[in-house]
Amino acid sequence: MIGRLLRPAPRRARLFGGVLALLALGGAATGCGIRPTAVPVDAGPAPSRVPCELPGNAVTPQFEGVTVRVYLVCGAQLVSAERSVRIPEGRASADRLRFAEALLGELEVTPAGDEKAAGYTTDVRGPLTVMGPRKGDPAGALRLSRRPEDLPALALSQIVCTYAENTPTSSGTQQVVLGGPGEDPARGYACTAEMKTRPDASPTLGDALHT
């Protein structure tokens, strides 16, 4: 009888015992907050990142003319891109206004080619026009067909930095004087490093400027 008790258990019993052991382990894992997975989980490809950089010689030629720098949006920041524009010759004051019109028109152009591949976009949408200063405005002031404070923050930041970049001041600071179509006084806006890194924040208004 003793020999019979020491005889190894049948194979079926051993398999049944192994299954019970696996079930016990699975229950312990579930009790610890770990849920067993029957199939592999496909998390998908890693998120792609746009470079936000243009080739060193990338200039978008609209015309054979003056090379300007406009500010576009990429990765929630302002980035600069060079464009080639043609400015008709004429009186100095008219030239400044035509130049401002050309810059505004470039900001309204949807990026394509290298700019699109780099992830550049623009928030400046038409219809939007620019006019020269009115009586009482400082020399060089620009009036938009919409009040600057009514524009989306990104669009206003693009306009401010583009105008400031292409109209250097004697003090060396990048700033521009903007107003709207109404009687509100024109105000100064500075293109700062903070504006370039956080263009979605409302630009800080400067004091009303007068001649």
pLDDT tens profile 132-160: 999 999 888 999 999 999 999 999 999 99
Q: How far apart are CA 136 and CA 139, in angstroms?
A: 9
Q: How far apart are CA 50 and CA 47, in angstroms?
A: 10
Longest dimension (CA), the chain: 122
170 phi, psi to nearest 5 deg: -65, -25
204 neighbors 187 (Cβ within 8 angstroms) = no
Ranges 43-57, 103-117, 180-194: which has the least confidence? 43-57
pTM over 0.75, yes/no: no
Q: Which of the two residues, 28 and 60, has the higher pLDDT score?
A: 60
pLDDT digits 0-9 by tens, 34-65: 343 343 434 443 444 557 887 765 555 554 56
Share of the chain above pLDDT 70, in %: 61
